[in-house]
Chain A
Amino acid sequence: MKSRIFWGIVAPVAAIVTSLLLISGILLLKHTSPVDILKAMIDYGFSPRNIVAELNIASGYYIAGVAAAIGFKMMLFNIGIDGQYRLAVFFAAVVGGLFTLPPVLHVTLIILVGAIVGGLWGSIAGYLKVKRGISEVISNIMLNAIAAGLVAYLLQPTRLGEQAEGSNNLNTPIIAPSGQLPTIPFLGGQIHGFIIFTVFIGLAYWVLLNKSTFGFNLRATGLSFKAARAGGVNAPKMIFVTMALSGAIAGLTGMGTLLSETHSYSISFPSGYALTGLALALLGRNHPVGIAFAAYFWAFLDRSAGVLDLNGVPKEIITIMQGTIVLSIVVAYEIVKRINKQQEQKLVGSASATLKVSATTEGEASA
Chain B
Amino acid sequence: MSAIVEIQGIEKKYPGVVANHNVNLAIKKGEIHAIIGENGAGKSTLMKILYGMVMPDSGTILVDGKKVIFKSPQDSIALGIGMVHQHFMLADNASVLENVILGSEPTSFGGVIQVDAARAKLIEITKNYGLDINPDQLVAELGVGERQRVEIAKVLYRGAQILILDEPTAVLVPQEVDELFRNLKDLTSHGLTIIFISHKLDEVLSIADDISVMRAGTTVASVIPSKTNKKELAELMVGRELPKRREVSTKPGLEKILEIKDATYVTPDHREILHGVSLEVHSGEILGVAGVEGNGQSELIEMIMGLVKASSGNVSIMGHDISDSSSREIRDSGVGYIPQDRQRDGLLMSAPLWENRILGHQATAPMANGFWLNKAAAKKDSERIVVDLDVRTPSINVMAAALSGGNQQKFIVGREMADKPSLLIAAQPTRGVDVGAQALIWNQLIEARLAGMAILLISADLDELFNLSDRLAVISGGKIVAVLDPDKTTPEQLGLAMTGEKIA
Does B43 contact A227, Cβ atoms closer than 8 Å?
no
CB distance from B437 to the nearest CB of A (A): 9
For residue A351, CB closer than 8 A to chain B, the reply is: yes
A351's partner among B40, B342, B398, B404 (CB-CB below 8 A) is B404
For residue A232, CB closer than 8 A to chain B, the reply is: yes
A129 to B4, CA, bound (A): 54
Does A362 contact B362, Cβ atoms closer than 8 Å?
no
Interface bits B330-343 vs A (CB < 8 Å: 1, else 0): 11100001011111
For residue A348, CB closer than 8 A to chain B, the reply is: yes
A364's partner among B44, B331, B405 (CB-CB below 8 A) is B44
A229 to B339, CA, bound (A): 11
Does B362 contact A217, Cβ atoms closer than 8 Å?
yes
A348's partner among B328, B330, B349, B402 (CB-CB below 8 A) is B402
Does A360 contact B39, Cβ atoms closer than 8 Å?
no
B359's partner among A220, A234, A347, A354 (CB-CB below 8 A) is A220
Enumerate chain B residues within 8 angstroms of A360, measured Cβ to Cβ.
341, 343-344
Q: List 23 interface pairs A-B (beta carbons < 8 Å), by A numbering.
A: A1-B395, A214-B371, A223-B350, A227-B344, A228-B348, A229-B327, A230-B360, A232-B360, A233-B362, A344-B402, A351-B404, A354-B405, A354-B407, A354-B434, A355-B16, A355-B432, A358-B405, A359-B341, A359-B342, A365-B14, A365-B19, A366-B40, A367-B42
Does B328 contact A232, Cβ atoms closer than 8 Å?
yes
Does B371 contact A213, Cβ atoms closer than 8 Å?
yes
For residue B107, CB closer than 8 A to chain A, the reply is: no
A228 to B42, CA, bound (A): 33
Size class of the contact patch on chain A: 35 or more
B345's partner among A213, A217, A226, A351 (CB-CB below 8 A) is A226
Enumerate chain B residues within 8 angstroms of A344, measured Cβ to Cβ.
401-402
> Among the interface residues A231, A233, A347, which one has the most CB atoms of the partner chain B within 10 A?
A231
A217 to B373, CA, bound (A): 11
The interface of chain A, by Cβ under 8 A from chain B, is 1, 210-217, 219-220, 223-224, 226-234, 344, 347-348, 351, 353-360, 362-367
Enumerate chain B residues within 8 angstroms of A362, measured Cβ to Cβ.
44
Size class of the contact patch on chain B: 35 or more
Given contacts A230-B307, A348-B404, A351-B404, contact A363 B432 (CB under 8 A): yes
Residue of B nearest to A215 (CB): B373
B348's partner among A220, A229, A363, A365 (CB-CB below 8 A) is A220
- 3 tightest A-B contacts by CB? A367-B40, A354-B404, A231-B360
A356 to B431, CA, bound (A): 12
The interface of chain B, by Cβ under 8 A from chain A, is 14-17, 19, 38-45, 216-217, 293, 305, 307, 326-328, 330-332, 337, 339-351, 355, 358-360, 362-363, 368, 371-373, 375, 392, 395, 397-398, 401-402, 404-407, 428, 431-436, 460-461
A364 to B119, CA, bound (A): 38
Residue of A nearest to B20 (CB): A365
> Among the interface residues A220, A230, A233, which one has the most CB atoms of the partner chain B within 10 A?
A230
A178 to B163, CA, bound (A): 82
Can you name 17 extra interface pairs (CB under 8 A) apart from A233-B328, A363-B432, A366-B460?
A: A1-B395, A1-B398, A213-B362, A216-B355, A220-B348, A220-B359, A231-B359, A232-B330, A232-B332, A353-B16, A353-B406, A354-B405, A355-B406, A359-B431, A365-B19, A366-B17, A367-B38
Given contacts A355-B405, A358-B343, contact A211 B372 (CB under 8 A): yes
A99 to B176, CA, bound (A): 73
Residue of B nearest to A222 (CB): B348
A29 to B46, CA, bound (A): 62
B328's partner among A215, A234, A355, A356 (CB-CB below 8 A) is A234
